[in-house]
Structure 1
Amino acid sequence: MPSFSTGAMPNPDPDPAVSLQLLITNEDPATEAVIELEAFLVPTAPDDAYVPAAHQLFSLAPLSATLRTINIAGFPAYEARFNVTGANVVVDLFAIDEAGGLNAVRRALLAEQPSGSANAPLP
């Protein structure tokens, strides 16, 4: 199962994001995709362990999308990791601040992302 990660994404001050919304799209016209999503809160100290924030396993029908929301309040950075079956899965990440405003946007395409990470997956 191919895997990719956003890497640590900063949660900047003075308006840090409190939630991460992920719009996950299966752009394949015929094949269902299976997605394992793991999200971590990245601590301030480099020697501290990542804090698990979400672990979800779900399938996505051809030409369909789902929206997932993860709480990331109080952390200076976050990371999302994906294990995916299917080559046409696109992930758009939207960081939302406390007022509900858009803080940051990032698109993750399987073909453009580095594989895996040094951190172990959630059990």
Structure 2
Amino acid sequence: MISRMNFSPESAEEKRDSMSALLRRVGESAIDTLGPLDEQTVDGERLDPAVVGSMRERILPRLVTGSRQDTETKPDSIAQSLIVQRRYLDAMRDALSAERSIGAYSSGTYRQVEAMLDTFEQRFGG
């Protein structure tokens, strides 16, 4: 039946746009789930303002868009940053699961976003 429908394959640009849209959706969902960054705590302590600034300016946009940029943070801020990054990755994985159950994107798009999350997880030491 599907072959009779004569669907045309997605172009490379459509695939890239779909992946970006899905990544943006799961990233925004993770941010919504976790709440404001400046209200996050690690072991009951509020995050260092430098970590909040770095996360807000560099890391979260990278997670949501999938782009790579090197950042430098103070050594005492690294642990906080990794914990919060892990939270966002976990929330993004949960959101991806929810999106997958809806089925609005192709299975290839879901696999690409999942692979990107895996890559971020490996880079963050997880």
TM-score calculated relative to the size of structure 1: 0.28
Q: Between the two structures, name the one with larger relative contact order (CA 8 Å, sep ≥ 6).
A: 1
More helix by share: 2
TM-score calculated relative to the size of structure 2: 0.28
More strand by share: 1
Structure (1 or 2) with the larger CA radius of gyration = 2
